[in-house]
Amino acid sequence: MATQTLLGDETAGPEARAVFDDIRLKRNTDYVNNFWRALAHDPALLKAIWERLQQAMAPGALDPLVKEMIYIAVSATNGCSYCVHSHTAAARAKGMTPAQHAELLQVIAMASQTNALANALQVEVDERFKT
Amino acid sequence: MATQTLLGDETAGPEARAVFDDIRLKRNTDYVNNFWRALAHDPALLKAIWERLQQAMAPGALDPLVKEMIYIAVSATNGCSYCVHSHTAAARAKGMTPAQHAELLQVIAMASQTNALANALQVEVDERFKT
Amino acid sequence: MATQTLLGDETAGPEARAVFDDIRLKRNTDYVNNFWRALAHDPALLKAIWERLQQAMAPGALDPLVKEMIYIAVSATNGCSYCVHSHTAAARAKGMTPAQHAELLQVIAMASQTNALANALQVEVDERFKT
Amino acid sequence: MATQTLLGDETAGPEARAVFDDIRLKRNTDYVNNFWRALAHDPALLKAIWERLQQAMAPGALDPLVKEMIYIAVSATNGCSYCVHSHTAAARAKGMTPAQHAELLQVIAMASQTNALANALQVEVDERFKT
Amino acid sequence: MATQTLLGDETAGPEARAVFDDIRLKRNTDYVNNFWRALAHDPALLKAIWERLQQAMAPGALDPLVKEMIYIAVSATNGCSYCVHSHTAAARAKGMTPAQHAELLQVIAMASQTNALANALQVEVDERFKT
Amino acid sequence: MATQTLLGDETAGPEARAVFDDIRLKRNTDYVNNFWRALAHDPALLKAIWERLQQAMAPGALDPLVKEMIYIAVSATNGCSYCVHSHTAAARAKGMTPAQHAELLQVIAMASQTNALANALQVEVDERFKT
């Protein structure tokens, strides 16, 4: 279905394989998911995305689960089926409860609804909301 | 700029004014922002959105600040200028720190980037990500 | 603000001016709005869009006002400020009542909300909905 | 495929089952489609969406078929496969003719095209289009 | 899966068949892909889209392969699975190399990321960028 | 208008100023545009985006002007006003002719139109388009 073949460990080049191995190491799993295998045709991009992702999703001022839920919100809004599936799985792996998932969906639905209304009404931004 | 005039307290009907008053009461402010004033042409929709919003954004399994950040993520992805402005202001009012805002932006940027790659590659969802 | 200058009757070429004149004739107005003046840098595209628009919006199995409301729905969803403004004005010129506008907004809001939920849940299409 | 399991009548809780029964009653069918079964994990949201949907889609200043076509327009623009399928089926059940469907598609295509051009040209809104 | 049946040569009307034949002739192939077969329910739209497409994609100031890559960029951003697949195949048929595809993906990823940041920050356009 | 203040050379921290200086050096200009000044609140993100951008837009298998046009296509589709303005200016600075700009707009319009039709028709991907 993809527009790119998925590269396995035997078909990927050494730079890509090195990223696969780092994914396995950091995630403590043998499994490398399809996204990385499709990206492996461009080892430099694969490496850049993997490294940037680790930085962006690391614990910091926001905890990793909150970050996963924000990721799901963006992915659902962009209609990215792959990303919604992979990050919902990741959020659950990080402990997202059914109640948290339900509230995430409620906020996504609410925001999408008011976004559409504000865009249809073309409401002007209140002065007090401007920095 | 809007495609609807903004109704003031004197021009809005009694049902809409009642919602304006409830917004003032619940938010402990005299200010009713433009979104509600544009929506006031349809008092039933105004009331429904205001009530639903309170439920969706109330403290629960997720805290209100996390919900505001999810709201910002959806609004930025939908390109809703009004909503990005109003909910960034709301998030700050709820205590969003510059560090939290920075990490929110990092996740939004990361997700948008991988969403585009997954959509351009049309990566098939891994079996293990399906419920 | 535009990324293209707006061509006036004196600066536009003869082919573009001919389209401007046809717009005036068909719409029975002296006014040619900014969209056409920005498009006039490419007279062939200007002519193709103007002719296609007349065909698409002509009375047929759907009446012109219904078509304008569908146009607003798409434009709001795409976040096209210009198009939301111009087609809301067009819909009003074709007799859209405040009650019809209110119901249009209600449907846009409802659809946006369930679209987001279906995308976040990645609900599989029911067999019976497939042709 | 979904990120949520679909709840059947036996697995759903009593509040969700009550909504399922109301859907069957109001739609005069035994069939409850997947969207509601995926939403049933959050009975309160399920109930709120179902009730709001009935209000938004009820006959009023716009007839139900026109509302379904507006719903399809928003759903296609948002790229929501599930919603396009379910509401195209609903529109046909409400009598949408092939000619009406064809004109709906023509308007969606036309609007999407001019939305993209207006966004690429960043055309400024004409003063006369502002309320 | 489609919301429209795909018309074959025997089921399509004479006007649609004439377009199918022109597609075969111009593309020097016997194959008419699903998009055209789904559009064939509206022969006038089918003809208009096919003719417009040939004009838009013809060699000119930009070469056809560059146009295909721009088409892929728009289609990926709109999350159109069908269009991403068909135009990635078309770009390859026109000679897109793996290196060109990789750089196309890098630019799509980069743009999507900065679009999201600019929308989340609502950065004001610099005076010098305005025409 | 932005949700973040724009940092000047005096208000930005040393890491951000170093990026500003590199932008000036690489672009051979004194001007640092608003996007970078808004990003400067997060020097690490500012640096990462600036470095990634240089890599993605560098001459390679695709020439820099083609990359700018692809960037405009994505930005217009995402409705990012800032990005459409800044990259249209960049494309012109790199030699984009009016004829090239016109053809870029034609392809963006064409793709947006067929994306909407394919999404509204939910056309199934032809087997031959799958890798």
B78-99 pLDDT, tens digit per residue, is: 999 999 999 999 999 999 999 9
pLDDT tens profile A1-16: 589 999 999 999 999 9
Geometric angle at alpha carbon E1, from D1 and D108, rounded to 5°: 110
Q: What is the per-residue pLDDT across B55-80, written as a single tens digit (0 to 9) for each?
A: 999 999 999 999 999 999 999 999 99
Give the mean pLDDT of D95-114: 98
DSSP one-letter string for E3-30? SSPPP-TTTS-HHHHHHHHHHHHHHTSS
What is the number of other CB atoms lying within 10 angstroms of the CB of residue E55? Answer: 13
Q: If you ran DSSP here, which 8-state letter would residue C127 be given?
A: G
Query: Model confidence at B1, in pLDDT bands (50, 70, 90)?
Result: low
Q: State the CB neighbour count (10 A cutoff) for residue B61.
A: 14
Contacts of C50 in chain D (CB under 8 A): none
pTM of the model: 0.97
Three-state DSSP state, B96 = coil
Tell me if B85 sits within 8 A of A123, measured CB to CB.
Answer: no
Asked if A70's CB is within 8 angstroms of B123's CB, the reply is: no
Confidence of residue E2 (pLDDT cuts 50, 70, 90): confident
CA-to-CA dists, residue F42 to D6, F15, F34, angstroms: 42, 9, 14
pLDDT of residue F1: 55
pLDDT of residue F106: 98
Domains and their CATH numbers in chain C: 1-58 (1.20.1290.10), 60-124 (1.20.1290.10)
With an 8 Å Cβ cutoff, is C118 touching chain A? Answer: no
Question: Which residue type occupies C87?
Answer: H
C84 → closest Cβ in B3, B41, B79: B3
Question: Among C102, E71, B18, which Cα is nearest to D58's?
Answer: C102
* 3-class SS of residue E105: helix
Res F2: pLDDT = 85
Average model confidence (pLDDT) for chain B? 97
pLDDT, residue B100, reads 98
Task: Give residue-wise pLDDT tens across range D20-39.
Answer: 999 999 999 999 999 999 99
Best of B81, B83, B105, B107 to mutate (most F CBs within 10 Å, chain F): B105
Q: What was the pLDDT predicted at C1?
A: 55
Burial A13-30 (b: 16+ CB within 10 A, else e): eeebbebbeebeeeeeee
pLDDT at A114 exceeding the cut of 60: yes
D131: pLDDT confidence band, cut at 50, 70 and 90?
Answer: confident
Share of chain D above pLDDT 90, in %: 97
pLDDT at position A74, please? 98
Mutation for testing the E interface, residue in F125, F128, F130, F131 having most E CBs under 10 Å: F125
What average pLDDT score do residues D5-33 get?
Answer: 97
Query: Is D113's CB within 8 Å of F110's CB?
Result: yes
- The pLDDT assigned to D59 comes to 97
Which stretches of chain F drop beneath a pLDDT of 70?
A: 1
- Compute the distance between CA of residue C6 and CA of residue B33 in angstroms, rounded to an integer: 34
The one-letter amino acid at A104 = L
Phi and psi angles of residue A54, each rounded to the nearest 5 degrees, phi first: -60, -40
pLDDT value of position C58: 97
Q: What is the pLDDT of residue A5?
A: 94
Say which of E67, E73, E103 has its CB closest to residue F60: E103
F54 CB within 8 Å of a chain D CB: no
pLDDT at residue number F115: 98
Set of chain F residues whose Cβ sits within 8 Å of the Cβ of A1: 125, 130
Which chains share 3+ C-beta pairs under 8 angstroms with A? Answer: B, C, D, E, F
pLDDT computed for residue B95 by the predictor: 98
Q: Give the pLDDT score at D64.
A: 98
Which of A3, A46, A71 should we substitute to test contact with E (largest number of E Cβ atoms within 10 Å)? A3
Whether the CB-CB separation of A34 and B126 falls below 8 Å is answered with yes
The pLDDT tens digits for B101-117 are 999 999 999 999 999 99
* pLDDT reading at C64 higher than 60: yes
Give yes or no for residue B2 having a pLDDT over 90.
no
